[in-house]
Amino acid sequence: MSDQQVVTAGNKSDQTIVCYAPTMITTNGIWQGDNPLDYSLPLFILQLTLVVVTTRVLVFVLKPLRQPRVISEILGGIILGPSVLGQSSQFANTVFPLRSVMVLETMANVGLLYFLFLVGVEMDIGVIKRTGKKALVIAVAGMILPFLIGVSFAFVLHQSTEFVRLGTFILFLGVALSVTAFPVLARILAELKLLNTDIGRVAMSAALINDMCAWILLAFAIALAENEAMSLASIWVILSSAVFVVFCVYVVRPLITWMIRRTPEGESISEFYICLILTGVMISGFITDAIGTHSVFGAFVFGLVIPNGPLGVTLIERLEDFVSGLLLPLFFAISGLKTNVGAIKGFGTWMILGVVIVLACAGKIAGTLLVSLYYQIPFYEGLTLGLLMNTKGLVEMIVLNVGKDQKVLDDKSFAIMVIVALVMTTIISPIVTNIYKPARKFAPYKRRTIQRTKPDGEFRVLVCVHTPRNVPTIINLLEASHPTKRSPICTYVLHLVELTGRASAMLIVHNTRKSGRPALNRTQAQSDHIINAFENFEQHSGFVSVNPLTAISPYSTMHEDICNVAEDKRVAFIIIPFHKQQTVDGGMEATNPAFRTINQNVLANAPCSVGILVDRGLSGSTRLAANQISHHVAVLFFGGPDDREALAYAWRMCEHPGINITVMRFVPGEHALEPETGRNPSGRERPLGFTGRRRERHIWARIT
């Protein structure tokens, strides 16, 4: 056929011959007698739609089990691959024919390229410095034992892959078993509300170091795989990769910093600079691929040198939803299409699989637990840390795919390692949820209240903010709370942001200003305004410390963030805005129905006192000063623990020279205490409560 071209599918060593027509990109239409699936673009659209729909259905099904999205993506690929639907030759040849693999893998690698770039942008290398050498030791200890187990496993499986050097096989399996998936771990920690805890910070730092080591080992593995011996070419590959990293750090990073400085403050990064950086991602991938390492290594390093700040925010805003939601699942679909569970044959092979899963998990846990106990981390936290370090996902799948393409792994080894990754990641969330109970730490911390706060001690308050409109009233209320040298106020400001399906868990929960990481979401400007307002309040008010945080989570679980921060920071009082706000004519209108549900959940679960702030004009226009009497506060006291808390708070406020307090106590009158009776048909008197009707009771109030 003159319009067809003969190509070699797969990698260099694959000799499968596939014919395709270069002109058959788009169809002329079914009315012309064309089958759309014979053309590359309609076929790719169908494949992409199938992958995304299958993945999303699995995400919905596995959501109650708190499984990370990577599990759904890998499972979706396996379902569409030869293990399940691909067993039907008609389905495989129609939907995923061999001629379409080149287009599919190309697009999957483009998505992978930009996803690894975003992972690099989101990473904070400063986390390692803040956690010290503890995270480094935990990361190394958690890698050694699984790597040794991978070495032993390699000797067992090497019989079926004797055409590959044992050293290369050992390196690939060792890296696959010892790596910890940083992006997946971040999602799991965010789902479990552990990202802002001590154990979460240590786990993230250790995973970050683990990822760095994995990339270095992967570069070695690829160099060895492409060169049968550790020849001069392998050394050049490694040295060239090192030169590329140095170039990015000392040349590319200063150039990008210069671009940012040229942008006027308050303005967004220009389109030209954004396009330049996105082009730089592809150039970096091309260079590292030409060097001999994987193209995603270049994109990842390029992302690491992007400075934290507005540029990173803009890049993530524009790319993440499209890359993570649409293109990245293609990579896992390709992995699933390569996974044939049927290749694992025989009881002995399944036994080996089970032993590998158990030993790899146990190796990570044992190594991490020993180091944790050395650093006097409690046993359950060390055990949890070991489980979290078993998280597998993207990096391991990259290692396995490279090994498969380089003919280091055969079908059986590849399928075994994919199942190992799935099982090890799947069991983490349920086990951690059951064995690690953060509430144990706070057992002595029960119902902390304003009354129990020492008059000469620090008064800790957690204020929740939805929008900048809540800020002036809260600041005035805090100033009216009379912070003094004897009793300073420690304020934790929690900006509540709804999670809108963002894939990166690193950005889901809390980021403090001290971390240098902005809140990477569409309300970045609001976060900046809120933090600046409270920092100005801290500078101009004595004896007040402000600690801003940002909680990014769904409205349904937002109360968990609030309560967890309250427990972690040992606050005595939570202030949350009312779900209605004042209108211009003085009325009240609902802002967001979800705010009311959040308030109700906080009231039901809070470990301390809660105050709902109804804004009726205590705004920035009535700013308080020590020598200015401008506020009269009334306390309505009916009795009960809530009213006693209100009285205790008012007692603190009344020490402010600008505050006048009026306490109105309501007590029942004499007639309210007399039992009311009625007559039944027999003439006997009985309480009115049994008649189905009650008379209105008159309560006489005395104001004292």
For the chain, give me the number of helices (H) and strands (E)? 25, 13
Q: Counting Cβ atoms within 10 Å, is residue 306 exposed (0-12), middle (13-18) or buried (19+)?
A: buried
pLDDT for res 540: 79
Residue 230, pLDDT > 60, answer no
pLDDT for res 13: 44
At residue 158 the predicted structure's pLDDT band, cuts being 50, 70 and 90, is low
Residue 337, pLDDT > 70, answer yes
Average pLDDT over residues 215-225: 74
pLDDT for res 276: 92
Dihedral in degrees, nearest 10, Cα atoms 88, 92, 98, 104:
-150
Q: Rounded to an integer, what distance in angstroms lies between the CA atom of residue 367 and that of residue 361?
A: 10
Q: Rounded to an integer, what distance in angstroms lies between the CA atom of residue 388 and that of residue 431?
A: 10
Q: Which of 17-31, 132-146, 201-215, 309-323 has the lowest mean pLDDT?
A: 17-31
Q: Rounded to an integer, what distance in angstroms lies between the CA atom of residue 441 and that of residue 288?
A: 47
Query: For 180-200, what is each residue's pLDDT tens digit?
Result: 887 788 778 777 777 666 787
pLDDT for res 525: 65
Query: For 272-287, what is each residue's pLDDT tens digit?
Result: 888 999 999 999 999 9
Average pLDDT over residues 87-111: 88
**In this structure, how many other beta carbons lie within 10 angstroms of the beta carbon of residue 608?**
24
Q: Which of 98-102, 492-496, 526-530, 690-694 has the lowest mean pLDDT?
A: 690-694
Q: Rounded to an integer, what distance in angstroms lies between the CA atom of residue 294 and that of residue 172?
A: 14
At residue 266 the predicted structure's pLDDT band, cuts being 50, 70 and 90, is low
Better pLDDT: 654 or 438:
654
For residue 422, which of 391, 395, 468 has the smallest C-alpha distance? 391
pLDDT for res 243: 93
Q: Rounded to an integer, what distance in angstroms lies between the CA atom of residue 687 and that of residue 64?
A: 51
In terms of DSSP H, where are the helices of 15-165?
40-62, 69-80, 89-95, 101-122, 126-131, 133-157
Q: Rounded to an integer, what distance in angstroms lies between the CA atom of residue 660 and that of residue 313?
A: 47
pLDDT for res 19: 62
Residue 690, pLDDT > 50, answer no
Measured in degrees and rounded to the nearest 5, phi and psi for residue 11 equal: -90, -170
Residues 59 and 72: beta-carbon distance below 8 Å: yes
Tell me the β-bridge partners of 636: 664
> Which two three-digit tokens encode residue 41?
């673009």
In terms of DSSP H, where are the helices of 63-88?
69-80
pLDDT for res 617: 65
pLDDT for res 619: 56
pLDDT for res 512: 40
Pairing state of beta strands 17-20 and 631-637? Answer: unpaired
Contacts of residue 653, defined as CB under 8 A and 6 or more positions apart, other chains included, come to 480, 481, 482, 633, 659, 661
Q: Rounded to an integer, what distance in angstroms lies between the CA atom of residue 499 and that of residue 510?
A: 12
Q: Rounded to an integer, what distance in angstroms lies between the CA atom of residue 479 and that of residue 118?
A: 42
Alpha carbon 249 to its chain centroid, in Å, reads: 27
Question: Is the dihedral angle over the CA atoms 392, 394, 395, 400 positive or is it negative?
Answer: positive
Query: For 615-637, what is each residue's pLDDT tens digit?
Result: 776 654 444 444 454 678 888 88
Residue 432, pLDDT > 50, answer yes
Q: Which of 102-116, 356-370, 440-454, 649-663 has the lowest mean pLDDT?
A: 440-454
Pairing state of beta strands 631-637 and 659-665? Answer: parallel
Pairing state of beta strands 677-679 and 685-687? Answer: antiparallel
Which DSSP string do the residues of 574-598 spell out, in sequence order?
A: EEEE-SEEE-TTS-EEES-HHHHHH
Better pLDDT: 56 or 655:
56
Q: Rounded to an integer, what distance in angstroms lies between the CA atom of residue 411 and that of residue 309?
A: 44
pLDDT for res 119: 82
Q: Rounded to an integer, what distance in angstroms lies between the CA atom of residue 704 and that of residue 662?
A: 10
Alpha carbon 437 to its chain centroid, in Å, reads: 20
What amino acid is encoded at 480 in this protein? A
Query: For 499-518, what is each residue's pLDDT tens digit?
Result: 654 433 333 333 444 444 44
Residues 24 and 38: beta-carbon distance below 8 Å: yes
pLDDT for res 332: 81
The percent helix, strand, coil of the chain (3-state, each to 5) is 60, 10, 30
For residue 99, which of 154, 19, 209 has the smallest C-alpha distance? 19
pLDDT for res 673: 54
For residue 378, which of 440, 432, 425, 444 has the smallest C-alpha distance? 440
At residue 461 the predicted structure's pLDDT band, cuts being 50, 70 and 90, is very high
Strands of the sheet containing 459-465, edge to edge, are: 544-553, 489-498, 459-465, 573-577, 609-613
Query: For 571-601, what is each residue's pLDDT tens digit?
Result: 889 999 888 877 766 667 777 888 889 999 8
* Kind and range of the H or E run holding 233: helix 232-247
pLDDT for res 351: 85
Residues 493 and 534: beta-carbon distance below 8 Å: yes
Contacts of residue 522, defined as CB under 8 A and 6 or more positions apart, other chains included, come to 317, 500
Pairing state of beta strands 685-687 and 580-582? Answer: unpaired
Residues 510 and 196: beta-carbon distance below 8 Å: yes
**In this structure, how many other beta carbons lie within 10 angstroms of the beta carbon of residue 432?**
21
What single DSSP character describes residue 693?
-
pLDDT for res 282: 95
Average pLDDT over residues 389-403: 83
Mean pLDDT over the full length of the chain: 77
Domains, the chain, in order of start with CATH, read 47-436 (1.20.1530.20), 459-624 (3.40.50.620)
